[in-house]
Amino acid sequence: MKAQKPFFDKISTLKNLPTLPHILLKLFESCSQDSVDLVEIAAIVSKDPSLSAKILKLVNSAYFGLSQKVQEINQAVVLVGTSGIKNMAICACVYEAFPKPKKNGNFNLKMFWWHSLRCAFLSKSIASEMNADQSDEAFVSGLLHDIGKVVLWVNFNSAYEALLENGRDDGLPLVDGEARLGATHCEVAAWLLDRWNFKPMISDAVRYHHESPARIAQALPMTQIVCIANFLCQDTEPGMSQGLVLAQKILGLSSDECHAYIETSGQEAKEVADALGIDINVDEPTQKAIDEKDQRIQDTLVRDVRNASLLMGSLEGFLTTKDQNDILSVISDGLKILLDINRFLYFQLDAEKGVLYGYPKDREGRYTKNHGLAVSMGLDQCLLVKALLEKKPLDSFETAGLRPLTILDEQIIRLLDGQGIYCLPLIAHADAVGVLVLSLQKNDLPHLIENQKLLDLFIHKGALALRLDHLKQIQLQAIQAKRVEASSDLARRVVHEVNNPLGIIKNYLKILEIKLTGKDIALDEIGIISEEISRVADLLRKLTDFSTEKAPAQEKTDINALLMDIVMLTKESLLKHADVKLHTDLEKDLPPIIAEKAGLKQVFINLIKNASEAMEAGGNLFIRTRHLPPPISGQPVYGKKGSIGYVEIQFKDDGPGIPEDIKEKLFDPYVSSKEGEHSGLGLSIAYNIIKSLHGQIVCACIPNQGTIFKIELPVQGAFNRQK
């Protein structure tokens, strides 16, 4: 062994021993599933010598520091875990998919795998008959017995290829030629397994499997089993005959028993080959190393790995997103890079309302909700709704061949300016998120279907990101409600405690006033003090107004008229003083709503006041109203009987925007971006007033471009639109 050390020093760390692309493709597909089945992964790994060696090497390394050596693939897979297996599979796929040392086909990797697998099953069958406790070790020994050939082929490619070519001509045993290189494949394999901390029984079985019959007769049973199994798996008559003789002489197995083991192991190996899509023609053992089907599989593997490389870059974008707009931007970029798709439309599902809301890109490049693209889930013949209900992609081309498209489908196709659409349901952990509608030309469809796995994986990650953002918003609302509740409780306690001494003071003032009546003392001053104490008590009571959800008065309210009154009221006192120019765009014939006028007036004044104070150097404030239609189905959106859409009120300023640290808790009580005596209650009170009216208020802030507050209030069908 010392004499061979210089030769072994030339051998690399052997991280990239080749594996059949059929196996790698199967492993790659299994590792790409949403939930990886380690039992399935172990079944694939255990059928390949190189992969088995790699994973066993890993678990027996110092990294794991196990007190006992692991020789079973199932146990090794569990120890390495899902992440480790995925990384190993991807690394192996990348190595196999991209250029390797030039090979002229003398070494047939497929037939090497076939012989190794048959030897593994045959060794296990014989060991089970003789000693059941060693059957798993016999399988590993048989699987790895020829792995030294792969090591020599990878590390000394040209010399080994020449050796294989010459061996066909001179008829000398392969091990003799290998010895002239520096070491036989048996010695190389044993050296490798020793380095990987395999049990001596396994490495010895590999080391001695080409020894003479006389020496094998004096070896341990495991070595004898692997040696005989190797002979019995030979495709030549001399090798098979020698194996039958050794089996009878050493193990006492008859020829019939041996043939039964050979047939059984061959069937087991063939079942594995069929499951992995590997064509093995047992009648032509000298078949070509690469046939047309093998080449197609190799090409598929190359495509999948390259796509995965592109995908990794696209998926990284999801890690840095802050909100839904960022996520949709990453999806847009990914579709362009991966599939050259430039136009799409995202529909978000509001499960509570049973509506899909479209989010087209606006002039500022942001994806914003458009009520004109609100589609009820009741339209189950529409492609995007049908795709979400059936949880599978649907395209307009195939559908049009089966039945006429709905008018809505045709309108979406024209909106996206394509020949057709491809509707992808967005599902995250069984939760429906929405639908992504891709714009397609008809000749793009085959390319899209060919890359369906890549698209599914990318879209699934996008769906997860969108779902997490939605959950984050729900959580923020819940936190906000808890903060309001906690602040309200604290405020009530403070008010209660302060009101007690204030009441006592007022009582003493009243007593003092009675005692001093008729005397020449300034009673007016006492009255003023009493009034001021009452005003303090009123101010304290207002501290809890932000948490009070008042039932809205059943009063018909004209939003445009209310806004014009407020504009007249605030134009002189607020806007002119701040040098803010007011612009109004109020939609005509805006339907009335049922609301509490005083509460809405308080909300609107607060928003105008905030905008004017934000623009210290002056600026513009735009107030806009419009009627938002209900979903296309005409069903109520907010679940309130008779609802016919919404009225939207926008307040947009071109001030500096809202700081990032304030945005997430903007509607919390006592939170303000202003300095001085501002209490930070205005927006919290506004939020609760709008909520009590079954509406919603949201804020969109674009850095250095201003702030937009949008209020949506449901319209009641009990009132007809104004004429």
pLDDT digits (tens, 9 = 90+) for 39-58: 888 888 887 777 787 777 76
Cβ contact 688:547 at 8 Å: yes
Grade residue 679 by pLDDT with cuts at 50, 70 and 90.
very low
Cβ contact 691:549 at 8 Å: yes
Grade residue 575 by pLDDT with cuts at 50, 70 and 90.
low
Radius of gyration of the chain (CA): 39
16 is written with which tokens? Answer: 């990239």
Grade residue 535 by pLDDT with cuts at 50, 70 and 90.
low
Q: What are the φ and ψ backbone dihedral angles of 222, each rounded to 5 degrees? A: -60, -45
**Maximal C-alpha separation, the chain:** 140
Q: Between residues 157 and 217, which one has the greater pLDDT?
A: 217
Cβ contact 386:409 at 8 Å: no
Do 14-100+290-320 and 106-277 fold alike per CATH? yes
Other C-beta atoms closer than 10 Å to the C-beta of 621 total 25
Q: How far apart are CA 144 and CA 279, in angstroms?
A: 21
SS3 at position 172: coil
In this structure, of 381-385, 630-634, 667-671, 717-721, the range with the lowest mean pLDDT score is 717-721
Q: How far apart are CA 684 and CA 666, in angstroms?
A: 8
Identify which of 73-77, 395-399, 629-633 has the greatest average pLDDT: 395-399
In this structure, of 285-299, 459-473, 644-658, the range with the lowest mean pLDDT score is 285-299
- Mean per-residue pLDDT over the chain, rounded: 77
The residue assigned the tokens 């992440």 is 83
pLDDT digits (tens, 9 = 90+) for 467-494: 988 888 777 767 666 766 666 666 667 7
Residues contacting residue 141 through CB under 8 Å, at least 6 positions apart: 123, 201, 202, 205, 206, 222, 225, 226
- Predicted TM-score (pTM) above 0.75: no
User: Is pLDDT of 710 > 70?
Assistant: yes
Q: What are the φ and ψ backbone dihedral angles of 594, each rounded to 5 degrees? A: -95, 120
Q: How far apart are CA 36 and CA 487, in angstroms?
A: 47
- Residue-level pLDDT at 352: 85
Q: How far apart are CA 707 and CA 654, in angstroms?
A: 7
Residues contacting residue 143 through CB under 8 Å, at least 6 positions apart: 46, 49, 52, 116, 117, 119, 120
Q: How far apart are CA 247 and CA 255, in angstroms?
A: 8
User: Which sign, positive or negative, has the C-alpha torsion 409, 410, 413, 415?
Assistant: negative
452-515 and 523-542 helices cross at what angle (nearest 10)?
160
- Residue-level pLDDT at 315: 64
Other C-beta atoms closer than 10 Å to the C-beta of 668 total 23
CATH class of 14-100+290-320: mainly alpha
User: Is pLDDT of 659 > 80?
Assistant: no
pLDDT digits (tens, 9 = 90+) for 158-213: 888 888 877 654 556 788 888 888 889 999 889 888 877 778 888 999 999 999 99
Q: What are the φ and ψ backbone dihedral angles of 714, each rounded to 5 degrees? A: -70, 140
The H or E element containing residue 194 is helix 185-195
Could you give the C-alpha distances from 519 to 21, 99, 505, 525, 529, in angstroms and in order? 110, 111, 21, 14, 18
**Percentage of residues in the chain having pLDDT higher than 70:** 71
CATH class of 106-277: mainly alpha
CATH class of 549-716: alpha beta
Name the residue ranges covered by the structural domains of the chain. 14-100+290-320, 106-277, 549-716
Pairing of strands 619-628, 706-716: unpaired
Cβ contact 437:426 at 8 Å: no
Question: Which alpha helices (DSSP H) does 433-451 contain, by range?
Answer: 445-450
Residue from 149, 144, 185 nearest 49 by CA: 144
Q: Between residues 68 and 668, which one has the greater pLDDT?
A: 68
Cβ contact 553:532 at 8 Å: no
